[in-house]
């Protein structure tokens, strides 16, 4: 049976927060642990997964089994689980495992919800700093240990004054790296290595652009919902849907998005 996300919004939002809380509880005891071990999922490159990744996704799946067993799940560590509601939770238990291993607090727990037509709701949760960025179903807020504040991108910044972020300096293929450099050469400031936290900063109005390549759906579902709820734009490098990952650009304004797309496409 197809589920209407808007009529079920309160239950959806409550479940998402329960999942984020459960992931925090699984992850934080292991963060900055000197004996935390990492397995390499891709021998040709260093693509780590840790006990914390697996424990967090297991904890989130347990919440869904209790509160929304009718929904499907797509998780980075444990794959796809079918459901009958028409809704799919898209989970990345730790986006930024390399940062996690280094003890840097720029990783996050990502939760997105798709109804098959698009991403309708998402969270970016940073457990160590106690920051939860939420977007969709009428919400665009940052919840910290002390306060709740609205999320809103900053507008009116031209490309030449913009701040751009990405995760890896090499971006992806040589052609993708060259396309990125065309944008990077025009902006005021480029910074690297923030993983999902870059999208959180965009939604918070601190930066203006995020450009990445080689993403999976679970890397972008949650951030996409948060940025769009804050007034930003998230597409692929051709201006189409970014929900499946691949080449992704997130921008604070339509003008900035158009200027960056023109450079990305030569």
Whether the pLDDT of residue 44 is over 70: the answer is no
> What CATH number is attached to the domain comprising 180?
3.40.190.80
pLDDT at residue 43 in the model:
67
Q: Where are the alpha helices (DSSP H) in 28-79?
A: 51-67
Same domain, 163 and 118: no
Same domain, 33 and 146: yes
188 φ/ψ angles, rounded to the nearest 5 degrees? -75, -35
On whether residue 49 sits in a domain, the answer given is yes
On whether residue 4 sits in a domain, the answer given is no
pLDDT at residue 40 in the model:
81
Q: Strand locations in 58-216, DSSP E?
A: 72-75, 79-81, 88-95, 108-114, 119-126, 131-136, 139-143, 148-150, 163-166, 189-192, 209-215
Same domain, 110 and 172: no
> What CATH number is attached to the domain comprising 44?
3.30.540.10
Same domain, 55 and 181: no
Same domain, 170 and 142: no
Number of domains in the chain: 2
Same domain, 126 and 214: no
pLDDT at residue 262 in the model:
98
Number of H helices, E strands in the chain: 7, 15
Q: How far is the C-alpha of 112 from the C-alpha of 169, rounded, in Å?
A: 26
- DSSP assignments along 156-191, one per residue: ---GGG-EEEES-TT-SSHHHHHHHHHHHTTSSEEE
On whether residue 2 sits in a domain, the answer given is no
On whether residue 81 sits in a domain, the answer given is yes
Last residue of a domain, one of 150, 171, 203: 150
On whether residue 1 sits in a domain, the answer given is no
Average pLDDT over residues 222-241: 98
pLDDT at residue 3 in the model:
67
Average pLDDT over residues 140-168: 97
Q: Which of 43-47, 108-112, 166-170 has the lowest mean pLDDT?
A: 43-47
Average confidence score pLDDT of the chain: 95
Same domain, 131 and 240: no
On whether residue 208 sits in a domain, the answer given is yes
**CA dihedral sign, ordered 194, 144, 59, 219:** negative
pLDDT digits (tens, 9 = 90+) for 80-89: 999 999 999 9
Report the predicted TM-score, pTM, of the whole model to 2 decimal places.
0.95
pLDDT digits (tens, 9 = 90+) for 167-218: 998 899 999 999 999 999 999 999 999 999 999 999 999 999 999 999 999 9
Same domain, 14 and 90: yes
Last residue of a domain, one of 150, 184, 212: 150
* Domain around 25: 9-150
Report how far apart, in Å, the C-alpha atoms of 200 and of each of 79, 148, 196, 263 are. 25, 15, 7, 24
Whether the pLDDT of residue 1 is over 50: the answer is no
Whether the pLDDT of residue 38 is over 50: the answer is yes
On whether residue 114 sits in a domain, the answer given is yes
The owner of tokens 């339509």 is 254
Same domain, 16 and 84: yes
Last residue of a domain, one of 150, 170, 188: 150
184 φ/ψ angles, rounded to the nearest 5 degrees? -60, -35
């Amino acid at each position: 049976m197809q589920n209407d996300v808007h009529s079920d919004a309160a239950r959806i939002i409550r479940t998402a927060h329960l999942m984020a809380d459960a992931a925090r509880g699984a992850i934080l005891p292991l963060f900055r642990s000197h004996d935390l071990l990492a397995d390499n999922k891709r021998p040709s490159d260093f693509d780590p997964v840790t006990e914390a990744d697996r424990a967090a996704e297991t904890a989130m799946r347990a919440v869904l089994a209790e509160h929304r067993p009718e929904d499907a799940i797509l998780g980075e560590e444990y794959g796809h689980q079918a459901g009958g509601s028409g809704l799919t939770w898209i989970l990345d238990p730790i986006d930024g495992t390399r940062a996690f291993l280094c003890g840097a607090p720029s990783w996050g727990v990502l939760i997105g919800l798709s109804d098959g037509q698009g991403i309708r709701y998402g969270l970016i949760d940073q457990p160590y700093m106690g920051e939860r960025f939420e977007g969709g179903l009428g919400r665009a807020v940052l919840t910290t240990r002390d306060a709740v504040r609205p999320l809103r991108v900053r507008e009116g910044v031209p490309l030449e004054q913009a701040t751009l972020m990405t995760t890896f300096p090499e971006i992806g293929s040589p052609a993708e790296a060259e396309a990125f450099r065309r944008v990077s050469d025009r902006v005021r400031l480029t910074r690297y290595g923030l993983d999902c936290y870059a999208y959180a900063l965009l939604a918070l109005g601190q930066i203006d652009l995020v450009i990445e390549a080689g993403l999976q759906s679970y890397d972008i579902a949650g951030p996409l919902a948060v940025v769009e709820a804050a007034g930003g734009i998230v597409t692929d490098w051709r201006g189409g849907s970014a929900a499946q990952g691949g080449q992704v650009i997130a921008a604070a304004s339509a003008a900035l998005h158009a200027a960056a797309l023109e450079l990305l496409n030569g």
